[in-house]
Structure 1
Amino acid sequence: MTDLSVPTLQFTDFLVFGACAAIFLCAWLLHRQKTYFLCFGASYAVCATMAVWFVDFGYYGSIWSPFGWSLAGATFWIGLRLFDGRPAVAGPMIGLFLLPTATHLGLTLAGGNAVAINAGSTIAYAVHEAAAAVYVFRTSTRRSPLRHLIAGALLAIALVICLPLLPVSEASVRLSVIAIFIVDHVTSILLTTAILALEAERGYAAVARMARTDALTGALNRQGLAAETGGVTEAGIIVADLDHFKAINDRFGHAAGDAVLRDFAARAAALLPEGGHLARLGGEEFGIVLPGRDHNATTYLAERLRRAVGGSPVSWKGSAVPITVSLGVAMLRAGEALSESLERADKALYDAKTDGRNRVRVA
């Protein structure tokens, strides 16, 4: 029965590996900038080739066997690192990539018998896969069950390939080889599904950020500010408006006006304390929410921002664009809606404008 099962499982292994390779390669063709899809596809393409090439599956009688499987594992690991936005290869990884083939070659040159060569190559490849699992575990966050699933699948591969080394009967060894095929089937499906789910999750997060972020300045928009401060009950509120902004557009052009808005957002963000929120409320008007800050701290920050903005012009195509800002300060009180405190800060801003601009006024 097991004699018939192994060739069948070998063929289905090829089909599963090939299907996973096709999925990732198609994803890469649709998004050429996402090189990690190419790496995942290439890894599974190597696995598919290995599945039909080596009839001694579960053993490493030829040096091409550890080389091929470690090449597949290394390419997959590189894909994971690129997916995480990291460099493709870190120093220790090179040694792990070469370890299975080097172990096989070293034991062969040392005159080791087939059993010793197979055991050494198997353990070396298991270490390689386990190291990839450790990488994923270490880079996972508490809220990332998908990444934990990926790490668990890689660790399962590392463990199951060592089963034929156990001191058991010949029949049990054959069953352990079948177990390798089954784990290959399951982990390939899990890994492919989990990676695509992570990609979808990343895309959803990007869309959510876009919906809550001002595209020009990178600050929050009104919707984003409301979402970020939904649980805030007491905070300092600042509303800032760039002075004579229309004149800047008229004199230097709208592109220069956009540069001024980006520069102001950058200066404000640089002064923002931990936990503070910056939002573009519309046009040249910005809002700042400082949870837990009192009246004095909020007014002090507003004055610092006024000085930081008016202290140096914005460079634009060889010209110096002078800018100043008027600011209104209010406090968000317990039980008060954010819109109410923003409205009071906006009235204080109006007082700053009517009093001559480039100043701070407190509601």
Structure 2
Amino acid sequence: MIKYIPKEFKTILNKYRFIDSWFWCRYSINPYNGCEFACAYCDSRSHKYHLQPEFDHLIYVKNNVGAMLDDRLRRARTLLPDVAAIGGTCDAYQPAEESYANTRQCLEVLLRYHYPVIISTKSTLTLRDLDILSRIAEDSWCAIGVTITTLDRKLAGFLEPRAPSPEKRLNVVKEIKEACPEIQAGVNFIPIVPFLGDDERNMEEVVADTKMAGADFILFGGGMTLRDNQASWFMRRLSEELPHLVEEYEELYQAKYTLAEGYRGRYEPGKSYLKRIHRKMLELCKKYQLAFRIKRYIPEDFRKQNYLVAQKLLDESYLCQMLGRPWTKTFWAGQNINNLGESIEDIARRGELRTIRNIDASIEAYVLNLLGNEGEQ
């Protein structure tokens, strides 16, 4: 039985030190504490997030979220409009939203202050808010990623027992693109679950059906993570319903699982496994002409060139990471450019690009070339 409990919280808006380079968000908002979709692989069960152990059937409804968010943005002296991700440790459109409309309240405030929005969800309830989501897209930027890990209903029932069916989720993407083409909409193929969602047939079906739905993108990540409480929960579910896979997981993650001691092992699969999955997904994206990155929000203030240059670097670092190549220097160069307090063009004119952390001679030359090309357009 799902129980909703209204509760006071001190904050509603979180600011990241570094922008999330997959979803391009600077801020996050969780309208609820807990998520009733009860996904078997959900990382929110891990210690890191400090959620209640029964977070999939005890949902705390945050009180006065609209007023809290409005007060935070109205009083902000250092915050600049940037992408706010709604939902992270919860699904912003889980069934509680139908009654409490916390997500809708947040959207109304974000539109008023011209903040772009990204939402990751498994819910069909997203369609209720297309009116305001389309206004946000026209005002600044809006992206919606619908999570799909398999198109097999029975398997989805194990992985995501209380979420809408995969067919209904794909239809959300289709309806968004038909009704509001200004919204970026696609599929989050995250995680690609080992031995359940990583066979080539499933991967191709997900990519092909994503393309048929008219999606703008498909995000993928082949390394389902396992840690502390979340790992033990997943492995317990696996041992109860698919016990023949326990040894497979123990080998892939170099782990050991027992009911008494829980999970002890690696955080993610080995590099050879990840490289194989990522290479296959890149091949499929090329085959179906489907983007595997989201086009980021670009502000019109001093950050414009910073974000354009950083996107190039972060896109490159992502591709290198997927292919098992060195990527961290390019990644951190992009992140540090994201955080500049002035235009990178001004820094380049002063000949001071090398003062930005992680920019070496090769990256400096790359950045100067980008800035030169931008100037010619």
TM-score (norm 1): 0.20
Bigger fraction of residues in helix: 1
TM-score (norm 2): 0.19
